[in-house]
Chain A
Amino acid sequence: MKHLLATDGLDAATATAVLDTADELKHTLLGREVKKLPTLRGRTVITLFYENSTRTRVSFEIAGKWMSADVINVSASSSSVNKGESLRDTALTLAAAGADCMIVRHPASGAAHRLSGWLAEAGTSVVNAGDGTHEHPTQALLDAATLRERLGSLQDRRIAIVGDVLHSRVARSNIHLLTTLGAEVVLVAPPTLLPVGVDKLPVTVSHDLDAELPAVDAVMMLRVQAERMTGGGPGQSFFPSAREYSISYGLSERRQALLPEHAVVLHPGPMLRGMEIAHAVADSPASAVTEQVRNGVHVRMAVLYHLLASEGAAA
């Protein structure tokens, strides 16, 4: 693996290898007081964030540090971005300064792909940490790791992805990865929050959350991305009100009761408690929200390992 840009096109064997490595790392580090492996000593990893996301950046930073890499954080507010320098020039500069891997978060879909092209000569690996409304592959991998832990395998499991699919890179990455790993995906959302051409994706679509819940093994709640609802003015009406959204698509305690006993509840965070998910549901034993965050570090360690340390990484 040279880059991790998307789960679309990521084959089952590679994805499974990353998840297995994450598993291994988790068990290796379990109970250790000093969580530090020497694997990436001497390697330089740069996080380049054009959007604020403390949780994702910190997760990558911890992952890098636990692997003994030198991690440098560059954010849009502190970099030359503010002075109008292009993404291309910023990336080339950072690569020239010695970055082995660049982890990029950017508001433009395809930005990570563009970076990988610009950095081809420098040989720098690129990890997509979220590009526009396109993909967020490490989030999908950590979701899959969490589901594997709770459910054993993803084969023939049925997973509902609920809410703002249109603006969600997490949903896109999960649709591809979960189906690649053998799961069935049902999208539950109002028609305004589903992308055009959704019928061409390997999913089924529903507008009735109550009807879907009894048959799913997991329910993945999405964040309502108000900041991406760019219609402006009255066009922002992707749904009439927070109240109506909550009534139709929120995971209330009543709804949770419709789930099978073993079902898992996921949310990529940050959660809008009370609207997307009831407070009690978020903190219930069915909720794997905290494990998602914990697994995020191990999955990102595994990704860095496969990019920078495993055999063939040098190629």
Chain B
Amino acid sequence: MTADVRPPAEAVSTALVIKGARPYGEGEPVDVLVRDGVIAEIGSVTVPEGAEVIEAAGQVLLPGFVDLHTHLREPGREDTETVESGSAAAALGGYTAVFAMANTDPVADNALVTDHVWRRGQEAGLVDVHPVGAVTVGLKGEKLAELGTMAKSVAGVRVFSDDGVCVADPLLMRRALEYSTALDAVIAQHAEEPRLTVGAQAHEGEQASRLGYPGWPASAEESIVARDCLLALHANARLHVCHVSTAGTVDVLRWAKERGTKVSAEVTPHHLLLTDDRLETYDPVNKVNPPLRTGSDAERLRAALAEGVVDCVATDHAPHAPQDKDTEWNAARPGMLGLQTALSVVVETMVKPGLLDWRGVARVMSERPAEIGNLPEHGRPLATGEPANLTLVDPAAEWTVRGAELASIAANTPYEGMRLPGVVTATLLRGRITAREGKIR
């Protein structure tokens, strides 16, 4: 079964030196020697014979980013994204590992599909692609998928999610949480009480009311998060809350964490930056699930991320074809691209206003997601002997987003034409350069 699967993308034996970058954006600039896929030396480094040199004066060195929530669309919608094209987008965005959500066609609810996705990730070799397994068969919310078989497969699945839909049945969610404790796994929930969001098209509030969009109430998210936190506490299981979008959910998370619940949570870049004011455009490029909320929700989410009540940033990268987006609002699929713009949006919303320093960015984009996703090789400290999964960022540079120029096959970015700060200049996976100056290596 495992014979035809290549081992993880090889570490390179040639040396590489990053010159003059500041780890976590702190202290004096240093040189970093990378050899055999690990950080061999930090400080003042003599460049070894034949070593590649990356001049990185003025740049910030961070552990490679980890995305807990990516839709790669393979298998099934390779016209919008493949594991390979999504891996390229991830590498260009500074990522060294991504979790590919299970709502593909066929659904990743069995080891055949999860292994296929894992293998395709290895073939692309740009980031570590970790398939997420479905919690229930066919994402139908009726019957547990074979979580144990997926956990024991080549891909070694550790994150399970029906993302796209909520595991709404409380008894089934209880069973999933209980069962997952034997697998050292986490259940990632798309928190949406379906009875409260029938026909929903946008955040239920002043804007949606004015424009006549059926509303997606904040309480539909908050009630599920509250319920699941209680179930996770009862089962002593690990719960991860996908794409937190409301201020009320932040309050629930704080309360649950204080009670000792093993709960973690992610927020998307778009929920940090964009609001339901975007509904004014009627352009479904802004349609996403959960929907863009109000300005005060975004403000509370930024504060919660800074404080750690929300643990990390996840992109919810969701490529869609033009015929699924350039339509009337109701007909459009929810979702937007995120991998290549995430860092910039975090800089804009968190770093520039002083809510996070670069050590904080490393925490929310690399360390915490790696811990939650159970990846011992990622999100490691910038220290000698650690795996060289690294990202270099030019904090002073700006760029203009053009959907057509992004590496994804789809182009549905809400930031089209927007000027954003913070440019990823290089990404290293186990010491090998995967992206450099906006190009895939």
Contacts and interface: CB of A to CB of B under 8 A. Distances in A.
B209 A196 contact: yes
B330 A109 contact: yes
Contact of A109 (B213, B283, B323): B213
Nearest to A169: B212
A32 interface: no
Given A133-B214, A230-B198, A232-B198, A110 B209 contact: no
B210 interface: yes
B206 interface: yes
B319 interface: no
B198 A132 contact: no
Given A87-B331, A106-B328, 15 more contacts: A86-B327, A88-B326, A108-B331, A110-B212, A113-B282, A114-B282, A133-B212, A134-B211, A134-B213, A135-B212, A195-B215, A197-B207, A197-B208, A200-B210, A230-B198
A107 B329 CA distance: 10
A231 interface: yes
Contacts of A197: 205-210
A108 B214 contact: no
A114 B328 contact: yes
B204 to A, nearest CB: 5
Given A86-B323, A134-B212, A235-B198, A107 B330 contact: yes
B201 interface: yes
B206 A196 contact: yes
A111 B282 CA distance: 8
Nearest to A8: B210
A275 B327 CA distance: 38
B8 interface: no
A215 to B, nearest CB: 26
A109 B346 CA distance: 32
Nearest to A116: B282
14 contacts: A109-B330, A110-B212, A114-B328, A134-B211, A172-B212, A195-B209, A195-B215, A196-B206, A196-B217, A197-B206, A198-B209, A201-B209, A201-B210, A230-B199
Interface string B314-343: 000000000100111111000000000000
Contact of A196 (B198, B201, B205, B328): B205
Determine which residue in A107, A110, A134 has the highest number of CB atoms from chain B within 10 A of its CB, and name it: A110
A164 interface: no
Nearest to A197: B206
Contacts of A107: 330
Interface string A82-96: 000011100000000
A204 to B, nearest CB: 16
Contacts of A132: 212-213, 330
Contact of A114 (B205, B210, B215, B329): B329
Given A113-B282, A114-B282, A231-B198, A87 B210 contact: no
Nearest to A171: B212
A169 B210 CA distance: 10
B328 A87 contact: yes
Contacts of B204: 196
Interface in B145-203: 195, 198-199, 201
Interface string A118-131: 00000000000001
Given A196-B215, A197-B205, A109 B329 contact: yes
For the complex of A and B, the 7 pairs showing the least CB-CB separation, nearest first, are A134-B212, A197-B206, A195-B209, A110-B282, A108-B330, A133-B212, A109-B212
Contacts of B215: 195-196
Nearest to A107: B330
- Classify the interface of chain A: helix, strand, loop or mixed: loop
Nearest to A232: B198
A43 B354 CA distance: 60
A239 B198 CA distance: 18
Interface of B: 195, 198-199, 201, 204-215, 217, 282-283, 323, 326-331
A164 to B, nearest CB: 13
A133 B200 CA distance: 12
Q: How large is the interface on A (under 10, 10 to 19, 20 to 34, 35 or more residues)?
A: 20 to 34
Contacts of B205: 196-197
Contacts of A135: 212
A148 B279 CA distance: 34
A166 B208 CA distance: 11
A230 B210 contact: no
Interface string A220-235: 0000000000111001
A10 to B, nearest CB: 14
B328 A108 contact: yes
A130 to B, nearest CB: 10
B329 to A, nearest CB: 5
A110 B198 contact: no
A111 B331 CA distance: 10
A135 B213 CA distance: 11
Interface string A161-177: 00000000100100000
Contacts of B211: 109-110, 134
A108 B214 CA distance: 10
A113 B211 CA distance: 11
Interface in A182-214: 195-198, 200-201
A131 B327 contact: no
B199 A110 contact: no
Contacts of B282: 110, 113-114
Given A87-B327, A88-B327, A235-B195, A109 B210 contact: no
A172 B213 CA distance: 12
Contacts of B195: 231, 235
B325 to A, nearest CB: 11
Contact of B201 (A106, A109, A201): A109
B287 to A, nearest CB: 10
A169 B211 CA distance: 9
Contacts of A200: 206, 210
A126 B199 CA distance: 26
A110 B212 CA distance: 8
A150 B207 CA distance: 34
Interface string A4-32: 00001000000000000000000000000
A132 B206 CA distance: 17
Determine which residue in B206, B208, B212, B327 has the highest number of CB atoms from chain A within 10 A of its CB, and name it: B212
Contacts of B201: 109
A111 B209 contact: no
Nearest to B213: A109
Interface in A120-161: 131-135
A110 B214 contact: no
Contacts of A235: 195, 198
